[in-house]
Amino acid sequence: MHKKGFTLIELVMVIVITGILSAVAVPKYFDLQDKAKLAAENGVVGGVRSGVYTYFTNHKAYPATLDTATNVACATSNICFDTVLQQNGITSGWTKTASLSYQGPAGNNYIYQPSDGSFLIFSTPLGSTTSEITGNMIALTQSFYDTNGKWPRSFGDYRYTDIGLNPADWSDVVYDGLIYGTGGSRISIKPGEGWQITVLGLDGVERILVADDHWNIWYDMLTSQWYYHNITPAEKIDISTMQKIQI
């Protein structure tokens, strides 16, 4: 007696149904992952805020920092939040991005303010990281040039309004220790008062920039390159090595 096999149509139907089920199941799986990361992140944020309050209650002052970790991923050798969290702080999932700034497992960026003990999500109209902010400024500047055949103006409020930004959001406004600017074919970064920038030149030499220098790190649209202070070949830098430090 012969056993009947699957016909071509039946096999195609199985493949189609499997594809439909996968299309439904895979997004839900990743959605659950995202929700789990956000829940874990919110749990730590709540713990940090509670710990800061407890610290203030015990010491009558807010902690100057949340830990002594370095600006890399939190790990057993680089413990985050141990000043305010019990059980030895956080050793995974989070990254310390600056002396008072962190990124959670869900991708949100937070900044701690020792002046009032707040620990809040940090963002600007153009994003929350230096890469996002400068990348969007570069894109807006290039779009203006592509549309008008010339670069935006480089003086007064026109530096911002020409590319659709509100000067009140950017002109000498400090975001997480940095002041971002734009004008003409250049994008600028400089440290705010009490902050320091370090960055490696392409020659391997470290450059240091503080607010009192009144200098900038520049991105030049004409060369698609970052520079320290002067737009000359000798001052080209590797922007990926930039670190900001509160001093």
- Give residue-wise pLDDT tens across range 117-146: 999 888 888 988 889 999 999 999 999 999
CA distance 71 to 68: 10
Domain encompassing residue 60: 40-121
- Mean pLDDT score of the chain: 88
44 and 86 in a common domain: yes
Q: Are residues 111 and 136 in the same domain?
A: no
Of 121, 156, 191, the position where a domain reaches its end is 121
* 135 assigned to some structural domain: yes
Same domain, 157 and 231: yes
Q: Does some domain include residue 193?
A: yes
Q: Using 50, 70 and 90 to split pLDDT, how confident is the model at 207?
A: very high
Instruction: Count the helix, strand and coil residues of the chain and give each as a percent rounded to the nearest 5.
Output: 35, 30, 40
pLDDT, tens only, 77-109: 999 999 999 777 999 999 988 788 898 988 888
Any domain includes 146: yes
Q: What is the pLDDT of residues 147-201, one digit of tens each?
A: 999 999 999 999 999 999 999 889 988 888 899 999 999 999 999 888 899 999 9
Gyration radius (Cα) of the chain, Å: 24
Q: Are 84 and 48 in contact (CB under 8 A)?
A: yes
pLDDT band at 29 (very low <50, low <70, confident <90, very high): very low
- Please indicate, yes or no, whether residues 198 and 231 belong to a single structural domain of this protein: yes
Of the residues 93, 121, 149, the one at which a domain ends: 121
Please, which pLDDT band fits residue 32 given cuts at 50, 70 and 90? low
Nearest to 193 by CA among 182, 207, 179, 181: 179
SS3 of residue 59 by DSSP: helix
Task: Say if residue 242 is in the same domain as residue 158.
Answer: yes
Same domain, 52 and 94: yes
**45-71: pLDDT as tens digits:** 999 999 999 999 999 999 999 999 988
Are 170 and 181 in contact by the 8 Å Cβ rule? The answer is yes
Number of folded domains that form the chain:
2
